[in-house]
Amino acid sequence: MTAPCPGPFSPGYRAAGVLLHVTSLPSRHGIGDLGPAAFTWIDRLRDAGLAWWQGLPVGPTGWGDSPYQALSSFAGNGLLLSPDRLVEDGLLGPRDVGDPYFPALSVDYESVIPFKRRLLEAAWRAFRVGQRPDLKAAFEDFCHRQAGWLEDYALFRALKERFGGAHYLTWPRELVERRAVALAAAAGDAAAEVDQVRFAQFLLSRQAAALKAHASERGVRLIGDLPFFVSPDSSDVWARPEIFLLDAERRPRALAGVPPDAFSADGQLWGNPVYDWDALRVTGYRWWIERIRAVLAHVDVVRLDHFRAFAAAWHIPAGAASARGGQWVTGPGAEFFGAVARELGRMPFLVEDLGVITPDVVQLRDDFELPGTRVLQFAFEGDWRSPHLPRNYPANAVVYTGTHDNSTTRGWYDALPEASRRRLWNCVRRINGGSRDAVAAMLSLAWSSPAALAIAPFQDVLALGDEARMNVPGAADGNWRWRCTRDTLAPETFAWLRDLTVVTDRAA
């Protein structure tokens, strides 16, 4: 089978980019946002000859602040709103923002969340009393065009606030079951809160559109990230229970995870609800296609997380103590991607094909000519047949030194057994070096490889250790907090990376 429409890379394409979550950008407001630092970041990438910026999911986060457990597949995270841009828009004054103090190297969510909430409330009040009347028509148009998800999400957030952040399954039964009379009454009672949620999404859409336009002008393409599963406590499950495998009480009948492997004797029990693909098939996969469109509104290409689940996913019976008792359940496969191709006219995807990869996953990826993922940190743990060794890469692939779930490359090297260190130095044909030398060698390997696209987390560009690690899978606290400083966006930071990008024929 040949791909029905083009993917992101043409034959012979070579480019490079950097992985950095928006929250990790510098800002005096406690968390990276869509403001001036993001524009400067794009300029630095352009100046270094880098054609791609990859981020993490940007949905509204809930418990654990994880971008992979968003409260909606369609909404944006209000914490990413730039106060500086709101001041420029005349919706905030300098005195509204003040001069707050936040840690420079990490996100203190406990302080940032109330601070950003206060600013949004001030911007909403200003808009309601007549500031920026020229935005009224655009706001109303946005609400009309996005009503398919926005109405449910806005009410979901208003109700969640009313019930102290509790899981929606603990709400009154008539709201859990979305009885029309109860929903209408709740929407009326919470009209002001619902409108403020809509307004926040409107502002996010404006700021994201401005950032994408700037990136396009600079020749930098944006890679978004789409988690396969949704959070169990999300407006997605609350508003669309018919597309998930739920019981009569709206509780999941099966949960997502992965089977036992060499790293975990019990496997991993993630706890996300799983899809009713039969119900989705009847609609032509409409909800999924609209979900993809929502991400593509503000990026150029989408990374499909946990791609293997499109072929088959590990379903674990609800109530199970571990993932051991799960089973593989067939996913939508080629039929799904055929529907997406017909709707979009292209295949704007990179796929995360890591983990337990069976022949059906490989065939699905290759049938649609989708670029797969290679991770250099995995290359030196096995033998020379490892698919993560550069000599074994196909051209239609994306190579990473590491991902957001890995140690930084410097931290990885510091913990690497001596035998694996020797494999690394043999691969680059040089004598042993220190951990900083290892980081440079790993970037050089990635950039020199046959893969169409080479990407490094910004922590690796800076040669930082595990103090800068973004996420430790399985750890409940302390993740998603790392931030870079304003000094690290100085042009000098990127000079050596530009040289590497030019020498390896990846310069934009």
Six token digits for residue 296: 């593509």
Residue 432 has pLDDT above 80, yes or no: no
Residue 5 has pLDDT above 80, yes or no: no
Q: Rounded mean pLDDT of the chain?
A: 95
Q: Which residues pair with 223 in a beta bridge?
A: 54, 301
Domains and CATH numbers, the chain: 15-503 (3.20.20.80)
* pTM, to two decimals: 0.96
Residue 303 has pLDDT above 70, yes or no: yes
At 343, the pLDDT band (50, 70, 90 cuts) reads very high
Helix (H) or strand (E) segment spanning residue 501? helix 495-503
Residue that is written with structure tokens 């957001």 in the block: 404
Please write the tens of the pLDDT for every residue from 413-422.
999 999 899 9
Q: 276 catalytic, yes or no?
A: no
Residue 213 φ/ψ, nearest 5 degrees: -60, -40
Catalytic residue, chosen from 151, 305, 343, 369, is 305
Within 13 Å of residue 30, how many CA atoms lie on the same side as its CB?
Answer: 20
Whole-angstrom distance, CA of residue 51 vs CA of residue 453 = 9
Whole-angstrom distance, CA of residue 104 vs CA of residue 1 = 51
Q: 266 catalytic, yes or no?
A: no
pLDDT at 3: 55
Mean pLDDT of 151-171: 97
Q: What percent of the chain has pLDDT over 70?
A: 99
The angle formed by the CA atoms of residues 303, 471 and 112, to the nearest 5 degrees, is 100
Six token digits for residue 361: 């996953």
Please write the tens of the pLDDT for every residue from 142-153.
999 999 999 999
Mean pLDDT of 4-33: 94
Mean pLDDT of 402-420: 95
* Type of residue numbered 144: H
Q: Contact at 8 Å (CB) between 154 and 238?
A: no
At 274, the pLDDT band (50, 70, 90 cuts) reads very high
Residue whose C-alpha is closest to residue 224's, from 211, 237, 233, 234:
211
Please write the tens of the pLDDT for every residue from 325-341.
999 999 999 999 999 99
Q: Contact at 8 Å (CB) between 39 and 86?
A: no
For helices 286-296 and 147-162, give the axis angle rounded to 10 degrees. 90
pLDDT at 264: 82
Q: Contact at 8 Å (CB) between 290 and 283?
A: no
Residue 384 has pLDDT above 90, yes or no: no
Q: Contact at 8 Å (CB) between 226 and 292?
A: yes
**Within a 10 A sphere around the Cβ of 108, how many other Cβ atoms?**
14
Q: Which residues pair with 306 in a beta bridge?
A: none
Catalytic residue, chosen from 151, 177, 193, 405, is 405
Residue whose C-alpha is closest to residue 234's, from 443, 439, 66:
66
Please write the tens of the pLDDT for every residue from 59-111.
999 888 999 999 999 999 999 999 999 999 999 999 999 988 999 899 999 99
Q: 305 catalytic, yes or no?
A: yes
pLDDT at 400: 98
CA 353 to mean position of chain CA atoms: 15
**Alpha helices of 130-223 — where are they, by DSSP H?**
136-145, 147-162, 173-176, 180-189, 191-217
Mean pLDDT of 153-181: 97
Please write the tens of the pLDDT for every residue from 224-237.
999 999 999 999 99
Mean pLDDT of 272-282: 98
> Which of 29-43, 260-274, 333-347 shows the lowest mean pLDDT across its residues?
260-274
Mean pLDDT of 194-209: 98
pLDDT at 415: 95
Mean pLDDT of 271-296: 98
Mean pLDDT of 302-329: 96
Residue 383 has pLDDT above 90, yes or no: no
Please write the tens of the pLDDT for every residue from 49-62.
999 999 999 999 98
The angle formed by the CA atoms of residues 405, 30 and 192, to the nearest 5 degrees, is 105
Whole-angstrom distance, CA of residue 364 vs CA of residue 308 = 9
Residue 282 has pLDDT above 60, yes or no: yes
pLDDT at 262: 73
* Type of residue numbered 107: V
Residue 327 φ/ψ, nearest 5 degrees: -150, 155
Residue whose C-alpha is closest to residue 335's, from 308, 306, 364, 360:
364
At 4, the pLDDT band (50, 70, 90 cuts) reads low
Residue whose C-alpha is closest to residue 273's, from 302, 233, 311, 320:
233
